[in-house]
Amino acid sequence: MGGFDVVALGELLIDFTNNDLSEQGNPMFEANPGGAPCNVLSMLQNLGNSTAFIGKVGDDFFGRLLKERIEKQGIDASGLVMDSAVPTTLAFVNKLPNGDRDFSFYRKPGADMMLTAEDVRKNIALIENAQVFHFGTLSMTDEPAKEATKVAVEAAKESGAVISFDPNYREPLWKSVDEAIEAMRYGFGKCDVLKISDNEVELFTGLSDVEAGAKKIQEEFNIPLVFATLGPDGSMALYKNMVVKKEGFKNPKTIETTGAGDTFCACAIDYIRRHGLEDLSEDNLEECLTFANAAASVITTRRGALSVMPSMDEIKDFMAGFSAKVL
């Protein structure tokens, strides 16, 4: 079979995002397709990559909606398993006054947790023929998906794929912080490219200095390339003995931050897939960070992520407009 540019494994769910109040004063929530791995794949599709997803949803209204939506985005869904016994995972995302988000998950259990090692083995050719394999920690909160994730990662490692990892820490989904840190440790030990947020760096290392914490992780686990995101303040890349930083694009049209990290992650993966990991320059890393920061800024002006990822032209137009305002 022909290989895909990027294959991802993990959670696919419905994000119910707060969308104003009803006439009766009750909060209204919009059902947005979500889940970090497919958010990443959706953005990668927009950047011209071929992608495929491995995961599990319920054989219910929401699961069928998700399957239809990722296929509409161009993501290959042959590795998506429909579970007739366990419902699709749901997440309610409430925006806080400070712009952060509060998550409430309906996942005890959710179908994404039920992905098995056998499900992965049935779709192992997707992984073995991929240029890049991407995963996070949320497929490792519970069995059997934890074992399934490790089977997939080992297959990707053996095939020589570039392995991309984003911890995507969500505290309510973990039995303990220690288990989350253990899953992060596993991912750090397997990946070639790490995307990690400032709060995840502090959680894992105890260091509030993001650069120092990211360096500590990179050196301990010998990770070739680390991207650390700083919310609206931008991002940094750590590569060999270089640390490259780029400020974020402060966007007055921002309404929520759902999917910003996933959008950044996808842009970073796309850049590395096209340029390789062997001989990146400071200019390369600056170019990568600038584009990824801009794309992340654009997605914050939209509700949801998976179905509304920006196009290449939209990102370039945003960057051009932003530069014009600065000048």
Angle in degrees, CA 37, 68, 115, rounded to 5: 45
The per-residue pLDDT for range 111-129, each reduced to its tens digit, is 999 999 999 999 999 999 9
- For the record, the structure tokens of 24 come out as 């009766």
Which residues on adjacent β-strands are paired with residue 195? 227
Residue 88 lies in a domain: no
Residue 277 lies in a domain: yes
Q: Which domain holds residue 288?
A: 6-12+34-80+109-326
280-300 mean pLDDT: 97
Residues 184/220, Cβ–Cβ less than 8 Å: no
Number of structural domains in the chain: 1
What one-character-per-residue DSSP string does 77-139 give? Answer: EEEEEEESSSPPPEEEEEE-TTS-EEEEEE-TT-GGGG--HHHHHHTHHHHHT-SEEEEESGG
Residues 51/38, Cβ–Cβ less than 8 Å: no
Residue 104 lies in a domain: no
DSSP for residue 254: -
Write the CATH number for 143: 3.40.1190.20
Quick one: which of 179, 226, 173, 238 has its CA closest to 203? Answer: 179
Residues 129/4, Cβ–Cβ less than 8 Å: yes
What one-character-per-residue DSSP string does 152-209 give? Answer: HHHHHHHHT-EEEEE----GGG-S-HHHHHHHHHHHHHH-SEEEEEHHHHHHHH--S-
Residue 200 lies in a domain: yes
pLDDT interval class at 274 (50, 70, 90): very high
3-class DSSP state of 268: helix
Residue 164 lies in a domain: yes
What amino acid occupies position 154?
E
For the beta sheet containing 101-106, the strands, ordered from the edge strand earlier in sequence to the opposite edge, are 27-34, 13-21, 90-95, 101-106
Residue 19 lies in a domain: no
DSSP for residue 252: T
Mean pLDDT comparison of 247-256, 267-276, 301-310, highest-scoring range? 267-276
- Residue 104: half-sphere exposure toward Cβ, Cα within 13 Å: 7
In the chain, what is the straight-line distance between the N-terminal and C-terminal CA atoms, in Å?
50
Residue 22 lies in a domain: no
Please name the residues in contact with 79: beta carbons below 8 A apart, sequence gap of 6 or more: 7, 52, 53, 54, 55, 123, 126
What pLDDT, on a 0 to 100 scale, did the predictor assign at position 326?
47
**% of the chain with per-residue pLDDT over 90:** 86
Give the global pTM.
Answer: 0.95
What pLDDT, on a 0 to 100 scale, did the predictor assign at position 327?
35
What pLDDT, on a 0 to 100 scale, did the predictor assign at position 99?
56
Cα–Cα distance, 193 to 285 (Å, whole number)? 13
Residue 98 lies in a domain: no
